[in-house]
Homo-oligomer: A and B are copies of this chain.
Amino acid sequence: MRPLGKDKAVRIVLDGMGGDHAPAEVVKGAVGASLEYGVEVVLVGKRDMLEGELRQLQASSKISIVDASDAVDFNDQPSKVRHLKDSSIMVAMNLLKSGEAQALVSAGNTGAVMAAALFVLGRIKGFDRPALCAIFPTPSPDLLLIIDVGANADCKPHHLVQFAQMGTTYMERVFGMKSPRVGLLSNGEEDTKGNQLVRDAHKAMGKTELNFIGNIEGKDIWAGVADVIVTDGFTGNVLIKASEGFSALALNFLKQTLQSRLEFRIPGFLLNPAFAEFKKRMDYSEYGGVPLLGVDGNVICAHGRSDANAIKNAIRIANQSMEQGMPEAMRR
């Protein structure tokens, strides 16, 4: 793998065929990121389609194309992906593995991306299962990391312990946080609360070197009491998607209320920028992508419904993550 460093040109490989709006929005996002962040993007997918999109955009930015004749179908079992050697995700993953690129972004099926990452890159020693982490703002200046938000629907207690270790390392190394407080998401604060998985994980976590502060209830997720919140990928996925839905609902209700109740009505053109700003801060889909931790490479999973803006943001996250020395930090 070629040495990483800020003096070197950064090259990010992008799965051109992954996501609901591929390839059009993906290519648009690639061009945007390349212009805005000065990164070199390698688009992987069906060459003629990708070239067609690029031509339409009349882009002269640093984009190259690597051909991949197959695409992973949304209904394909993730386990089948490794056999689709010419699929865009497998070709892209191999470019990352060989060091042709320093990070990978895909808006394709998360299960497929994870399967390809496991097959091509392998795990980092000590972590049995890769996990997806989402990073949220909180009212305090600090960020909040939630892990796992969708990679593992069924978990064992030791997986949750490993997620806690991954999340801790990420916050320490990438965000320079000292001894992040780890909370275990549960249905009550008391040690005895939780389903079987959580009760067992609680006991196991208490025996580690982690800065484990105990169970965290849903209401306290964003209250700034923990820096890393650990949960299984089913609950975590429901949670972050619910926050997306709830955010939309909140805006809807609040707009109605503000515009109907006040004697002094606030005109839409004044309200809308505030609401857009809010959405940008609160909606995890605006963040573009979530890192896949535990695999031996810098992989960012973008939202399946990513538009060009989300793809651009995912590339920004990949770029940051790489500059901050992932996945080397995780390996140490």
Contact = CB atoms under 8 A, between A and B. Distances in A.
Contacts of A65: none
Given A218-B239, A250-B282, A274 B245 contact: no
Given A239-B239, A254-B278, A245 B262 contact: no
A325 B288 CA distance: 49
A239 to B, nearest CB: 6
Interface residues of A, number: 60
A187 B245 contact: no
A275 B273 CA distance: 18
A232 interface: yes
A126 interface: no
Copies in the complex: 2
Interface string A165-207: 0000000000000000000011110100111101000000000
A233 to B, nearest CB: 7
A153 to B, nearest CB: 4
A141 to B, nearest CB: 13
A245 B261 contact: no
Given A195-B154, A247-B246, A282-B249, A241 B261 contact: no
B250 A250 contact: yes
Given A185-B238, A186-B234, A250-B278, 12 more contacts: A187-B241, A188-B237, A198-B234, A218-B241, A219-B245, A220-B245, A235-B235, A246-B250, A247-B250, A253-B278, A258-B274, A266-B266
Interface of A: 75, 138-139, 150, 153-154, 185-188, 190, 193-196, 198, 217-223, 231-235, 237-250, 252-254, 257-258, 261-262, 264, 266, 270-271, 273-275, 277-278, 281-282
